[in-house]
A and B are shown apart, each in its own frame.
Chain A
Amino acid sequence: MNRVLAPGGLVVALLFPLVVPNEYYLYVAALAFILAISATGLNLILGYTGQLNLAHAGFMAIGAYGVGILTVDYGLPFWPAFVAAGLIATAVGVLAGLVSLRLKTHFFAIFTLCVGLILSLVIEKWTALTHGTTGLIGMQPPGAIGPLRFDTTGAQYYLVLAFLVAALWLTRRIATSIVGRSFVAVRNSEALAQALGIDVFRTKLLAFALSAFYAGISGALYAGFVRFIGPDLASESHTFDLLAFILVGGIGTLGGPLIGAILLTILTQSLQFLQDYRMIVFGPLLILLVIFFPYGIVGFIRLRRARGHA
């Protein structure tokens, strides 16, 4: 499937800016790609390693605030701030992982929900650092890299696309390696993984740190693209949006988070006229999906293919 779909999808994504009627579509698509990078990271810890981390939006917010604070308040250029933001999110991820990964299953999920809440409260209340509920404005778009300038939406779209491709490439590389296989072994059965000599805690910590890194990079791109950030970026409802992308697209699959991000973004946009009532459409759709397609769209396609071959 990947051999045909992935290059095909990339061609469509590359040509997309040439055919869209206005910049708004580009903006929405780039936003979906940014969220897809974050969801791809969440999929590493949730889909591949089997740990439901509900603090994910918190790490994305750390990446975004890292860029926001360093560029606006400390006058750093975008790219050094971008790298620093990714590293800070990863470092906080390692610390949070060291504590929360001592717990398992639901306890881990509830604990990380609390970690996310704490992160969002810190962002909201530490006004001196984060500007509190006012949020941060006045971020510059990503600075030029050599001859490449990123001051138009079209250029930013291609920048985000490049990061998305890099994120998926890295994820694929990890998922198919023995390191990724150890993630899946932990998800399958921690006892069996241990009996095979896999250090379960270290494996989970690595996946957790990686997911925080993806979240941080995604948040940092978000800050440079949307150029306004507020505390709600860290809210648990944002984590649940990312979770919905994964469930819709296909948990534990490479393309699932991206497919989910694109589909749900299109759905959200086309249901704008319903305002908050669109949740009445979303809720039942998600329930039906979980019942009938537990492995999402990618899982459904795989199953049909497997049956076709048999």
Chain B
Amino acid sequence: MLEVQQLTKRFGGLAAVRDIDVRFKAGQITAIIGPNGAGKTTFFNLISGFYRPSAGRILFDGIDVTGLRPDRVARLGIARTFQTTSLFDQASVLDNLIVGHKLRTRSGLWDVVFGTSRLKQDERRCRETAEAALEFVGLTRIAHRPAGGITQEERKRVAFALALATGPKLLLLDEPAGGINPDETHALAALIRKMAATGLTICLVEHKMSMIMRLADRILVLDHGEKIALGTPAEIQADPRVIEAYLGADYVAA
């Protein structure tokens, strides 16, 4: 469903991502791991259109999306989350989510001025989608609480719900379990699995190895912007190059 060919991003003389080839299969969970500065977030930014690649191609369901603007990429069905999610803290959680489905609506200013039936239909659809997304991530009970007063873990779930509201086929999660405790990490992993079970293709950047190893179907390992390994968790754990670059001898011993 997503095919990345020879993808390269250079900042000045430095190649943050170099010659990466990878295919993501529909319905699978792919994790990207690697040391800090390995190019994981850059890779996400390239796929979601926030950076223009210096070279290479990105094909999404056979469509060339290389160099497309982020909002176009989102419309085609690639959603992403960020390491930190900026919500409108004074508004309710549900209010924050309603705009998530706007990309699938067509009402413009004239519909607003004249209060057309199209607008009413679009707004109802946005609200229903937001409510459904909130229920999916298990936050219906806090729908009307101000977004500023929710926990870090709830914020992560709201970020998922926002991404889900866009109606994606591919979901890119940037450190979904960053800054939350082990129990919550467990619950979040279950939620990610539940999303994949609905047919969503998922790709995540994460540092929490125990979570990755249990969750991912495949793991892509980056180091200094290059792909050094791609395989199942078992294969990756046994790969000497990965151990040297990232996991470390301690990990194998443990």
Contacts and interface: CB of A to CB of B under 8 A. Distances in A.
Interface of A: 170, 173-174, 177-182, 184-185, 187-189, 191-192, 194-200, 206, 210, 302, 306
B170 to A, nearest CB: 13
Nearest to B74: A197
A178 B126 contact: yes
B71 A182 contact: no
B103 A196 contact: yes
Interface of B: 48-50, 69-72, 74-75, 79-82, 85-88, 90-91, 95, 98-100, 102-103, 105, 107-109, 112-113, 115, 119, 122-123, 126, 146, 162-163, 165-166
Contact of B85 (A185, A187, A192, A302): A192
A195 B82 contact: yes
23 contacts: A173-B115, A174-B109, A177-B107, A178-B105, A178-B122, A179-B107, A179-B109, A181-B99, A187-B88, A188-B88, A192-B85, A192-B86, A192-B162, A194-B50, A194-B70, A195-B48, A195-B74, A195-B81, A195-B82, A197-B103, A198-B71, A199-B69, A199-B71
Given A178-B123, A179-B107, A179-B108, A194 B102 contact: no
B81 to A, nearest CB: 8
A210 B81 CA distance: 31
Contact of B71 (A178, A181, A194, A206): A194
Contacts of A197: 71-72, 74-75, 102-103, 166
Given A170-B113, A179-B107, A195-B70, 13 more contacts: A178-B98, A178-B126, A187-B88, A194-B49, A194-B50, A194-B70, A196-B71, A196-B74, A196-B99, A196-B100, A196-B103, A200-B71, A210-B109
B230 to A, nearest CB: 26
Contact of B109 (A185, A189, A206): A206
A181 B166 contact: no
Given A197-B166, A198-B71, A182 B102 contact: yes
Judged by DSSP, the binding face of A is: helix
A181 B94 CA distance: 12
B123 A195 contact: no
B203 to A, nearest CB: 14
B71 A185 contact: no
A194 B85 contact: no
A187 B112 CA distance: 20
Q: Which 4 A-B pairs have the closest CB atoms?
A: A197-B103, A197-B74, A189-B86, A194-B70
